Amino acid sequence: MKRVFITGGARGIGRAVAECYRAAGWEVVAPGRDELDLSRPDAVEAYIARHGGVLEVDALVNNAGINNIIPIRDLELSDWQLMQDVNLTAPLLLTRHAAAAMARKGWGRIVNISSCYSFVTRGGRAAYSATKAALNSLTRSAAVEYGRDGILVNAVCPGFIGTDLTRKNNSPEELAALCAQVPLGRLGTPEEIAGLVFMLGSEANSYITGQTLVIDGGYLAQ
């Protein structure tokens, strides 16, 4: 049985991704925040150490992320660093440890959940957009470095998806305005994102790597 490691697997996109893998017969490892604190690099390393010093998985989905809305003029370095640690440093560390195990088997899949805000942005998203743009770059670098080991690495950039985080950061009026900007006229669903993530992060994918795939209902096409 193949095993997938998913961060942020308790809700939203992460939960939908976990359900896809379970339905396909994979073992799903999705530690909660009480087990794995992604905001502290030392805590990530300690988690790996407690599990034998390696992340023995066949697929890794770096899904967890935070998007604190703070204008640049009010952005404290601590706020900036927190989003860097969760959205970028944690995926780097988990990729490094998972790839070490995957390379020994000559097979692995890594999918990073980025965002359409890695290409465009809105007020208050400076730190978030910066981390997601950097995550896209990390994805390409990892694909190049690990390709010879049979490891495929891609990023998925959701648009406006109907998750708790989207509803937290937008009023009902703002959500209606967002839908009006999407050619399909609606928010995406976590299940729609999960289907793409699973395809990229499973045996269904054999030759796609180093790519940043946008799934946004046509928002960025305008």
Question: What are 59-79's pLDDT values in tens digits?
Answer: 999 999 999 999 999 999 999
Class of domain 3-221: alpha beta
Q: Which tens digit of pLDDT belongs to each residue from 163-203?
A: 887 888 788 999 999 999 999 999 999 999 999 999 999 99
pTM: 0.96
Angle between helical axes of 90-105 and 126-146 (0-180°, round to 10):
20
Q: Which of 132, 154, 152, 191 is nearest to 14 (CA)?
A: 191
CB 189 within 8 A of CB 161: yes
DSSP 152: E
Q: Is 128 assigned a catalytic role?
A: yes
Query: Per-residue pLDDT tens for 109-150?
Result: 999 999 999 999 999 999 999 999 999 999 999 999 999 999
Measure the CA angle with vertex 166, ends 19 and 32; round to 5°. Answer: 45
> In whole angstroms, how large is the CA radius of gyration of the chain?
17
* Closest-CA residue to 91 (of 51, 166, 141, 53): 141
Closest CA to 68 of 84, 52, 45: 84
Share of the chain above pLDDT 90, in %: 95
Choose, from 21, 47, 117, 128, the residue flagged as catalytic.
128
Find tokens 């928002």 and name the residue: 219
**Which of helix, strand or coil describes residue 33?**
coil
> Does the pLDDT of residue 85 top 80, yes or no?
yes
52 φ, ψ to 5°? 85, 5
pLDDT of residue 170: 84
Nearest to 29 by CA among 50, 46, 14: 14
